[in-house]
Amino acid sequence: MIIIIDHKLTREQALNCVKSNLEILKEKHKNELSNLVHTWNGYISTFSVSAKGFKIEGELTVLDNQIEIKSKLPLAFKIFGGMIEKTIRENANKFLDNCSKNL
């Protein structure tokens, strides 16, 4: 699954926004997600998380005008791919809009 989300922030602002909001989302979804681990190397985060007992791994990259999320969904989750993408997009757009307003 590849999800591309456009943003109007500078790359550094988008990076800071993503980093701060990952912690908020981690707390918000603590009952659905576990073992969330993410490691940053510049503008790229590799991550892994468990959801409903299945491990999901991927990479999040902050680009100049976009955020790109690549991950492989377990076979059991493929049927929910559209719903998962929609949820990720809604959350990302919401926190990016909030970050834009707080500049």
Would you state the pLDDT for residue 6? 95
Dist. CA 70–CA 93, nearest whole Å: 17
- Please state the pTM of the whole predicted model: 0.87
Report helix angle 81-101 to 11-28, nearest 10. Answer: 120
Dist. CA 97–CA 17, nearest whole Å: 10
Residue 84 makes CB contacts below 8 A (sequence gap 6+) with 1, 73, 77
Beginning with the edge strand found earlier in the chain, give each strand of the sheet holding 33-41 in spatial order. Answer: 2-6, 66-72, 54-62, 44-51, 33-41
Residue 102 has pLDDT above 80, yes or no: no
pLDDT tens, residue by residue, 13-64: 999 999 988 888 888 888 888 888 889 999 999 999 888 788 889 999 999 9
